[in-house]
Structure 1
Amino acid sequence: MEKNKIKVQTFLARVPLFNSMGAEELSRIALGTTELRIERGGTIFQRGDDCVGFHQVVYGQVKLAFTSLAGGEKVIELIGPGQSFGEALMFMGSPYIVSAQATEDTLLLHVAKPAIYREIHADPEFACKMLAGLSQRMHSLMCDMESFSLRSGTQRVAGYLLKELHEEADGELTLPATKAVLASRLNLTPEHFSRILAELSTQQLITFKGRKIHILDVPALRRCAA
């Protein structure tokens, strides 16, 4: 039991929200924290389930999505290591409005609401960090809405590829999810997404095979995204 507690504290210390906390604060948070290991394709929660805390991704990836009665899916967000989800609904006391599924083997920390409320009451700085995280998420969603409304499909795909590209990667990147999932995330059909990749390849801006993308001309791709 003690071994598991120390392990949870180690994970918590790596989380941006908690990385300024000392051992005592981490111990309190650990008391309300549960490890969840989800295999690829596993469901974490469904729309309508009660939200009694929030999740933090230690490793792996989580897909947040709406699902229609006909089985159609709209991906809202892909959550990776170091990112969290569920904070806003936790504070609102509302059930989940999306479903969450692991797109690869994933380790999550679920921090229960009472543990968070204790720290907010004890440390105003902690409350400020949570507000900053929620504000950043809201800003990101607003940027997505602007992109979906005002930018073409090619601009969205080019911008996404540039966002995923790391400078040290020498033009190489690996898509973090299937093309169907990314197409939904960018508000495109899978066919449209594939067609845009093909067009960018024809223009000799990228080459691709499966999830592997090689950006041949970063400045030109930036012009496509503008």
Structure 2
Amino acid sequence: MNTPSNLDIPALLGRLPLFSSMLPEEIERIARGTREIRVAKGDILFHKGDPCLGFHMLLSGQIKLAFTSAQGNEKVVEIIPAGQTFGEAIMFMDTPYIVFAQALADAQMLHISKAALYEELDKDPKLARKMLASMAMRLHQAMHDMEAYSLHSGKERIMNYLLRELPPLEPEIRSATVSLTTTKGVIASRLNLTQEHFSRILHELATDGLIVVNGRSIDIPDLERMRKTLS
């Protein structure tokens, strides 16, 4: 659902590393081609096959990018957190979306128009280089994830995921808690596991004393032990 925006859109765009070197008047022009979008939990932002007319900057909430197989199984490709952009690569390819996007929580975002952005790219080649660097980093992360899915066991994938989801910690901290930001089924799909396999591994890790599961909160009583188990 689109609503009139009371946001300071130029200021929000200016925080993106993508636009950090741009002049205020350049950002202002892009802001004129930017609109606020709000979606409720469970809403579809776009479907596979829809035209891509720009890219998104997620301000709050969480968005799932996924596709459905011919057998009807859903595969989560990426979980977008607040502060991240998505859709740039498809925008440049001039092709329809190859995944669908669904809100995992009530979400607020900006949609940056392709037409407005292309006008600035024609004027400033440095902006194109920044966008390429941003997309290259995302591709590198995707390749890293693919390697992990191919070479690591399900247990290793889950332990790595839990350690990556930890907030910044002081070196002397020995234990920590991970709060899962979405359902276990979505996380399982993201890790290329079935929900049943994911739950079974959590049970095994709990039996081994590596974690304690309390709903969506997972305590890691001994961080060093978990890291050594992975090494």
Q: Give the superposition deviation at 1:6.
A: 6.1
Structure 1 CA distance, aligned partners of 2:67 and 2:102?
11
What secondary structure does 1:71 align onto? coil
Matching residue of 1:94? 95
Q: Give the superposition deviation at 1:37.
A: 0.4
Which one is further off, 177-186 or 161-170? 161-170
Percent identity at matched positions? 50
TM-score w.r.t. length of structure 1: 0.93
Matching residue of 1:108? 109
The Cα offsets for residues 113-162 of structure 1, whole Å up to 9 and x where unpaired, read as 11211222222322121111100111111111111111100010000000
Matching residue of 1:48? 49
Counterpart of 1:179, as a letter, is: K
Structure 2 CA distance, aligned partners of 1:82 and 1:16?
11
What secondary structure does 2:75 align onto? strand
Matching residue of 2:13? 12
Q: Give the superposition deviation at 1:10.
A: 2.8
TM-score w.r.t. length of structure 2: 0.91
The Cα offsets for residues 140-190 of structure 1, whole Å up to 9 and x where unpaired, read as 111111111111000100000000012339511211110000000000011
Confirm or deny: 8 A CA contact 1:41 1:104 kept in the other structure.
yes
Structure 1 CA distance, aligned partners of 2:190 and 2:84?
17
Q: Give the superposition deviation at 1:23.
A: 2.2
- Report whether the alignment pairs 1:224 with 2:229: yes
Matching residue of 2:220? 215
Which runs of 5 or more structure 2 residues have no equivalent in the other structure?
none
Counterpart of 2:53, as a letter, is: V
Structure 2 CA distance, aligned partners of 1:158 and 1:167?
17
**How many residues are aligned here?**
224
Q: Give the superposition deviation at 1:49.
A: 0.3
Confirm or deny: 8 A CA contact 1:156 1:225 kept in the other structure.
no
Confirm or deny: 8 A CA contact 2:67 2:100 kept in the other structure.
yes
Matching residue of 1:176? 181
Q: Give the superposition deviation at 1:217.
A: 1.4
Confirm or deny: 8 A CA contact 1:16 1:82 kept in the other structure.
no
Q: Give the superposition deviation at 1:4.
A: 4.2
Counterpart of 1:93, as a letter, is: D
Structure 2 CA distance, aligned partners of 1:15 and 1:39?
24
Confirm or deny: 8 A CA contact 2:59 2:109 kept in the other structure.
yes
Structure 2 CA distance, aligned partners of 1:62 and 1:16?
21
Which has a greater percent of helix?
1
Q: CA RMSD in A?
A: 1.8
